[in-house]
Amino acid sequence: MFSRLFAPKVKVSAHCDLPCGVYDPAQARIEAESVKAVQEKYQANEDPDFRTRAIIIKEQRAELAKHHISVLWSDYFKPPHFEKYPELHQLINDALKAGSAAKASNDPKTGEKLLELIARIDTIFWETKKA
């Protein structure tokens, strides 16, 4: 009976335990930089154990980059941002797909593409902060 009385009535979620309002594309950029660096290290090393670890780390970091991009899209950017920057939806979609491509590839070019798209999101993000 007590467990039902004190059970949460509403369940919420956010990118952190407390919706802090702190957003920054730098989080995605740092993860994407890790992806590209690991891809480069993978290419420079023939040790199978090293390569296995590199793949695991690269995939984790790519997923984190995608997560941070998704959080910006779903939690930070609002309708006025999408009206002012009509390319923003497509840009975010392209960045998420680039994250998937980098996750699936050991070619540093895919990591570089992800970084380029995050840089474009970053530019728009900081322009919205000026307003």
Residue 14 lies in a domain: no
CATH number at residue 122: 1.20.120.400
Residue 18 lies in a domain: no
What is d(CA 106, CA 38) in angstroms, rounded to the nearest whole number? 8
Cβ atoms of residues 69 and 96 within 8 Å: yes
Residue 19 lies in a domain: no
Residue 97 lies in a domain: yes
Residue 53 lies in a domain: yes
> Into how many domains does the chain fold?
1
Cβ atoms of residues 12 and 80 within 8 Å: no
Indicate whether 20 pLDDT > 90.
no
What is d(CA 59, CA 35) in angstroms, rounded to the nearest whole number? 8
Cβ atoms of residues 79 and 89 within 8 Å: no
Indicate whether 13 pLDDT > 60.
no
pLDDT at 44: 98
pLDDT at 17: 47
Give φ, ψ of 13 to 5 degrees. -145, 155
What is d(CA 53, CA 61) in angstroms, rounded to the nearest whole number? 12
Indicate whether 9 pLDDT > 70.
no
- What's this model's pTM, rounded to 2 decimal places? 0.84
Q: List alpha helices for 13-107, DSSP H.
A: 26-43, 48-71, 79-84, 88-104
Q: In which domain, by residue range, is 126 found?
A: 24-130
Mean pLDDT, the chain, rounded, equals 90
